[in-house]
């Protein structure tokens, strides 16, 4: 197997693994509740798991980019990995890949320096980074004919179904939760009978 062929296979393989990891990152991000916890996991474990998978995804994306550039079958400039639509080859699909990579980097970097950032700014960047997955998914399907048929297409569909299922669970969970104002009213209503009984006991004494 020649060097170019090896780079081609490495680029495809790392791209598929990166898509799986990005799917895991997005699903974990969707499932984490407002307190930063996953069902069945403490907060520190959920945060650590989410961060480590994100870093692993960035590592695979980096290898994916480097091997794609080194593959001499087509000419892909290195700058096109971070500058959208800078490549003459598959401009649209590679441009989407660059956008996804930039969003992923923004999410990782801002998470690492979260303590030094304004909370509103951090949250805005973090929410924007959720676009990383659909853009990466479009890049994967559009730029790789391997993902357009066979078991790899089934794998891509499975990733999409996981994301849809996680989003559906999160929306259903949010719908079951009372709004903050209603929660206050409900808590007061629960404590009211107890408070009334205590007041009556004091009066009877």
CATH code of the domain containing 94:
1.20.120
Is 205 a member of any domain? no
94 neighbors 80 (Cβ within 8 angstroms):
yes
What pLDDT score does 163 carry? 93
Spatial CA neighbour of 68 closest among 16, 103, 129: 16
Percent of the residues in the chain that have a pLDDT greater than 70, as a whole number: 78
Q: State mean pLDDT over 4-14.
A: 85
Separation between Cα atoms, residue 61 and residue 20, nearest integer Å: 11
129 neighbors 122 (Cβ within 8 angstroms):
no
pLDDT above 90 (res 126): no
pLDDT above 50 (res 195): no
Is 160 a member of any domain? yes
pLDDT above 80 (res 32): no
Q: Provide the mean pLDDT of the chain.
A: 79
**Number of domains within the chain:** 1
Is 32 a member of any domain? yes
Is 145 a member of any domain? yes
Is 190 a member of any domain? no
Q: State mean pLDDT over 32-53.
A: 70
Is 105 a member of any domain? yes
If residue 92 lies in a helix (H) or strand (E), which one and from where to where?
helix 91-112
Q: Token digits for 35?
A: 């307190």
Structural domain boundaries enclosing 21: 3-177
pLDDT above 80 (res 39): no
């Amino acid at each position: 197997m020649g060097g170019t062929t090896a780079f081609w296979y490495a680029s495809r393989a790392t791209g598929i693994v990166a898509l799986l990891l990005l799917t895991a990152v997005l699903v974990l991000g969707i499932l984490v509740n407002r307190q930063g916890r996953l069902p069945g996991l403490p907060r520190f474990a959920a945060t650590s798991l989410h961060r480590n998978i994100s870093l692993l995804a960035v590592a695979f994306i980096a290898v994916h980019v480097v091997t794609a550039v080194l593959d001499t079958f087509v000419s892909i400039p290195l700058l096109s990995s971070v500058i959208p639509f800078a490549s003459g080859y598959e401009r649209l699909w590679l441009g989407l890949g660059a956008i996804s990579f930039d969003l992923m980097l923004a999410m990782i970097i801002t998470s690492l320096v979260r303590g030094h950032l304004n909370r509103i700014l951090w949250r805005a960047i973090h929410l924007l980074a959720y676009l990383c997955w659909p853009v990466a998914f479009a890049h994967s399907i559009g730029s790789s004919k391997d993902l357009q048929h066979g078991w790899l297409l089934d794998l891509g569909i499975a990733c999409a179904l996981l994301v849809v299922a996680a989003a559906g669970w999160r929306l259903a969970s949010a719908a079951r939760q009372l709004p903050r104002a209603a929660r206050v009213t409900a808590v007061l209503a629960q404590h009211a009978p107890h408070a009334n009984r205590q007041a009556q006991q004091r009066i009877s004494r």
